[in-house]
Chains A and B, each alone.
Chain A
Amino acid sequence: DSGVTQTPKHLITATGQRVTLRCSPRSGDLSVYWYQQSLDQGLQFLIQYYNGEERAKGNILERFSAQQFPDLHSELNLSSLELGDSALYFCASSAHPGRGNNEQFFGPGTRLTVL
């Protein structure tokens, strides 16, 4: 158990819909990361938040957005869903991002299926 929790575990929805994925980091971790793992693309970095502020952005679609709240939990919002958004979405957390200290601990993931 990494200490990172994600809900829900599974989500099935229809094209055009909007969903919210939730992540609670390990106790004491200030940084949260979101990754997408689809069948043909491996693990892809989406976005990072540090202490409530966006810190880095990867290949995140404009239809996707995220935020980190004062209690440090994070939500990833996916809207206008398409079939190709079906994937595993992982959240990870780390303590203080910095040189030589970037071990990220991953949650169990949310499996999103868009029908």
Chain B
Amino acid sequence: DQQVKQNSPSLSVQEGRISILNCDYTNSMFDYFLWYKKYPAEGPTFLISISSIKDKNEDGRFTVFLNKSAKHLSLHIVPSQPGDSAVYFCAASPLGAGNMLTFGGGTRLMVKP
């Protein structure tokens, strides 16, 4: 039973345009959400997070939106750059339960010059 799903395995975007990566979750106990970026042969790199008390968090070119009623979050990258090409994972953490992260399956983003 996948509690965190990223339904798009891949996404291709032109440099300078917006990239939108989506993530859905099913567990109502999740209250903290994170996005990680991963290059081949490296560990995931933390990008941005959002608490369930907010619906938006911004950090430079990266913005995460949370829609609690729809159990959906998205990561917007504007403008997209070729160096953003990587696999992006969303992750969720439940209330108090040791802060273990449940990851989605990842979306491979390709930004074309």
Q: Which 9 residue pairs across A and B have the least CB separation, nearest first? A: A56-B98, A106-B43, A43-B103, A97-B99, A45-B100, A102-B99, A55-B98, A106-B44, A42-B105
B32 touches A43 (CB 8 A): no
Q: Which of A2, A31, A98 contacts B43 (CB 8 A)?
A: A2
Q: Which of B36, B89, B100, B102 contacts A33 (CB 8 A)?
A: B100
Known: A2-B43, A103-B46. A56 touches B103 (CB 8 A): no
Known: A45-B102, A55-B98. A102 touches B93 (CB 8 A): yes
How many interface residues does chain B have, given as a range? 20 to 34
- Chain A residues 61 to 115 lying within 8 A of chain B, measured CB to CB, are 90, 92, 94, 97-100, 102-109
Query: Cα distance A106–B105 when bound, in Å?
Result: 17
A4 CB within 8 Å of chain B: yes
User: Which residue from chain A places its CB closest to the CB of B97 in the assembled complex?
Assistant: A56
Q: Which of B31, B41, B89, B96 contacts A43 (CB 8 A)?
A: B89
B82 CB to closest chain A CB (Å) equals 22
B98 touches A2 (CB 8 A): no
Q: What does the 1/0 interface line of B23-37 toward A look like (CB < 8 Å)?
A: 000000001101010
